[in-house]
Amino acid sequence: MTEKTFSVAVAGATGAVGDQMIRCLEERQFPVKSLKALASKRSAGKRVRYKGETVLVEELTEDSFKGIDLALFSAGGSTSTRFAPHAAKDGCIVIDNSSAWRMDPEVPLVVPEVNPHAVSDYTRKGIIANPNCSTIQMVVALNPIHRRFGIKRIVVSTYQAVSGTGKKAIHELFDQTRDMINFLDIKKDVYPHRIAFNCLPHIDAFLKNGYTKEEMKMVHETRKILEDTDIGVTATTIRVPVFFGHSESINVETDKPITPEEVKAVLGKAPGVKVVDDPSTNRYPMPIDAAGQDWTLVGRIRKDESIPNGINLWVVADNIRKGAATNAVQIAEILAEKYL
Ligand code: 25A
Ligand code: L14
């Protein structure tokens, strides 16, 4: 790591992801000169902890970024749309966790294990986008397979934790679960239906084509990160009553012949991936094991016996860490080491 230090701002510091961004800066010993915690007016005056010290939360305004080198944003799409250009104008590089800038051709969309070279395009707008949580863990697992066997088509179904929606959704699952087992009436606020003891085939808004935005993000972002517009991707995204950790059932069809043994060997050496695959001892990836760590866990590696060249996988990762905060801090590390 470089000797230089950086003034860093976290926008959305009181949110589920913003809080974890601060933890990741601390854990990974990012060279922070000063830390500024930003949130909406509602949270101004609250305090967050950083390295045993208390940092006062300030209201995010257009002038928040003067003298700041790097800003990590996780305050929702409309906040990023509005404030990221002001930060960039003041010479602050933005790493944005919302969907606002991801598909902008002038904004790199980066997963450090997959396309770290794309970071260099940060100079075009002063913004780097962090992909969607479900996309990140999928491309970490599939990029090594794509490079070796050539992926033609991906069919993915997700089982997504409520923490992706933020703190309010974490409370909603907790409260509904508690009320259900006490035979009380439940309250719904964040999701249109009960999430406790249920599954919702609905993440983010529905589009005209019948898919949800979350499903189409997986299609477009995967192609952009893998730098291959020919890959077919079709997704179904499901909310499940899990607090932390997204799971994905992934089917891939490849150009070249492929076997489970070869996939295990390739993934055994892949950055960020841990193969957890031993059915004889009931070992396979689960959200309870993924939560709180940064590996993308891959298991249930099987041949798709219905086509000549196909594989099935089960991929699990912590959506708040690798799916959001860790990935953003890894991008900051590349910037600090190579470009600043
Ligand atoms: O939910 P929001 O609005 O996007 O807010 C998230 C963070 O951004 C801040 C907000 O501060 C919080 O720190 N923020 C929002 N609007 C802002 C603005 N105009 C803003 N900061 C500056 N200017 P806060 O003080 O508003 O919020 C404090 C707590 O209240 C929750 N909250 C936010 N908006 C609320 C609200 N509560 C009630 N009503 C509202 N309208 C907020 O919830 C925080 O706890 P949160 O954790 O947990 O929000 C998580 C956001 O992050 C996104 N997200 C989660 N995972 C991912 C992700 N985005 C991309 N990738 C991921 N992997 C969620 O979708 C959600 O938007
Ligand atoms: O990053 O789980 O585009 O409700 C927006 C929806 C993150 C997850 C994004 C959810 C997603 C979020």
Residues of the chain with pLDDT under 70: 1-2
Task: Using DSSP, state whether 11 is helix, strand or coil.
Answer: strand
Q: What is the CA radius of gyration of the chain?
A: 20
Residues with CB under 6 A from ligand 2: 99, 132-133, 160, 164-165, 203-204, 214, 217
Q: What is the pLDDT of residue 244?
A: 98
Q: What is the pLDDT of residue 316?
A: 99
Q: How far apart are the first and last CA of the chain?
A: 12
Contact 145, 254 (CB under 8 A): yes
Which ligand 2 atom sits closest to the C-alpha of 132?
Answer: 1
Q: What is the DSSP letter of 322?
A: I
Distance CA(87)–CA(68), nearest Å, equals 8
Cα 166 to ligand 1 centre (Å): 7
Cα 138 to ligand 1 centre (Å): 25
Q: Ligand 2, residues 191, 214, 244: which to mutate, most atoms within 8 A of Cβ?
A: 214
The residue whose CA is least distant from atom 9 of ligand 2 is 132
Which residue's entry shows tokens 């952009």?
224
Q: How many CB atoms lie within 10 A of CB 309?
A: 18
Contact 327, 130 (CB under 8 A): yes
Q: What is the pLDDT of residue 274?
A: 98
Angle at 335 between CA 329 and CA 339, to 5 degrees: 175
Would you state the structure tokens that stand for residue 113, as one six-digit string? 């294990």
Q: How many CB atoms lie within 10 A of CB 259?
A: 13
Cα 114 to ligand 2 centre (Å): 21
Q: What is the pLDDT of residue 2?
A: 58
Distance CA(290)–CA(205), nearest Å, equals 27
Which residue's entry shows tokens 């069919």?
155
Contact 33, 336 (CB under 8 A): no
**Residue 246 annotated as catalytic:** yes
Q: How many CB atoms lie within 10 A of CB 18?
A: 28
Cα 50 to ligand 2 centre (Å): 26
**Which residues touch 57 (CB under 8 Å, ≥6 apart)?**
13, 14, 37, 38, 39, 43, 44, 45, 46, 47, 48
**Residue 92 annotated as catalytic:** no
Q: Kindly state if the Cβ of 17 falls inside 6 Å of ligand 1.
A: yes
Nearest CA among 270, 265, 257 for reference residue 310: 257
Contact 170, 162 (CB under 8 A): yes
User: What is the tens place of the pLDDT at every residue in 116-174?
Assistant: 999 999 999 999 999 999 999 999 999 999 999 999 999 999 999 999 999 999 999 99
The residue whose CA is least distant from atom 11 of ligand 2 is 132
Contact 75, 18 (CB under 8 A): yes
Which ligand 2 atom sits closest to the C-alpha of 324?
Answer: 1
**Which residues touch 291 (CB under 8 Å, ≥6 apart)?**
243, 244, 245, 318
User: What is the tens place of the pLDDT at every residue in 216-253?
Assistant: 999 999 999 999 999 999 999 999 999 999 999 999 99
The residue whose CA is least distant from atom 8 of ligand 2 is 164
Which residue's entry shows tokens 């959001």?
324
Cα 15 to ligand 1 centre (Å): 5
Q: What is the pLDDT of residue 16?
A: 97
Distance CA(34)–CA(217), nearest Å, equals 34
- Which stretches of the chain are assigned E, i.e. beta strand? 6-11, 32-39, 47-50, 53-59, 70-73, 93-96, 127-129, 151-160, 232-239, 246-254, 273-275, 296-303, 310-317
Contact 212, 202 (CB under 8 A): yes
Report field, pTM of the whole predicted structure over 0.85: yes
What residues pair up with 156 in beta bridges, in sequence order?
235, 250
What residues pair up with 127 in beta bridges, in sequence order?
94
